[in-house]
Amino acid sequence: MFSQIPVDLAKVKKEELNRVILRAAIIGELDAINLYEEMAALTDNEDIRKVMLDIAREEKAHVGEFQTLLLRLDKEQVQELEQGRKEVEELTGK
């Protein structure tokens, strides 16, 4: 269920460390979102479901915060996200 940080942070080059930290944080938030949404789908307790889904939404905001910081540090990521957006528009016509 849970992802593992894909690299040993102690071995990351200093100039790469902040980007790697932010990507690892995004991975953690995405794992949390998946966990909370899956648990919400499984429970028959409406209160638990509501709280799980609310917390999942908060985690989505955290992804946005980390992504904002990452995009400030990684201009290649900005370009590739834009390229991905364009490819989806071309493939879907939307």
5-58, pLDDT tens digit by residue? 667 778 889 999 999 999 999 999 999 999 999 999 999 999 999 999 999 999
Nearest to 12 by CA among 24, 2, 29, 27: 24
In this prediction, residue 15 carries a pLDDT of 92
In this prediction the pTM is 0.86
- Which sign, positive or negative, has the C-alpha torsion 44, 46, 48, 52? positive
Nearest to 57 by CA among 28, 31, 27, 37: 37
| Domain boundaries defined on the chain | 9-92
